[in-house]
Structure 1
Amino acid sequence: MRGPRRTAAVLTGGTFLAFLLLSAWAPGPMSRPVTGDGPPVGVPAGLAQLPFMAGVLWWFERAARRGGDAPPAPADDAVRGGEPR
């Protein structure tokens, strides 16, 4: 499950980081109106992150259900190195 987990983290974190960096260091394009008298580019870009992150979360949940992580070992077995009593 490391692959889907890593992919989900990179996708959501990367898009959010790109949005923050564009907002901080490129305020001109982010404050330009989308069309004529419409909202600035930053508003739909920020709002688009919600369905995008929901989609990535849905994809990750589906991948986790299909692949399934192995159940963790009981705490006392893990401490003793997995030897039975």
Structure 2
Amino acid sequence: MIPINPAWDNRLLDHLERGELAEFDSWTVEGMAKEAGGSAHEVRMWIAAFASLAATGPYAMTSRFYEAVPAWIAGFAVATAEGRRPV
């Protein structure tokens, strides 16, 4: 079992929040599992969701919550985002 890595989890959320999706181009499945543990596969869903939103134009993360729960060997996150409307 790999311990949870809140710093890595928050780095992922930081990239998503700033719209730095190209950062993920160099991330591999193996590298994510090594850094983030067995549940790292869920990270690909987060990246896909934000990439889909970004494909429609710029977006803004409107809320973000993260809680590390070592007893469950998990970090839990919730984020919402919406596309920016042209002014």
More helix by share: 1
Q: Would you tell me which structure has more strand in proportion to its own residues?
A: 2
Per the normalisation by structure 2, the TM-score is 0.30
Pick 1 or 2: higher relative contact order, CA cutoff 8 A, min separation 6. Answer: 1
Larger radius of gyration: 1
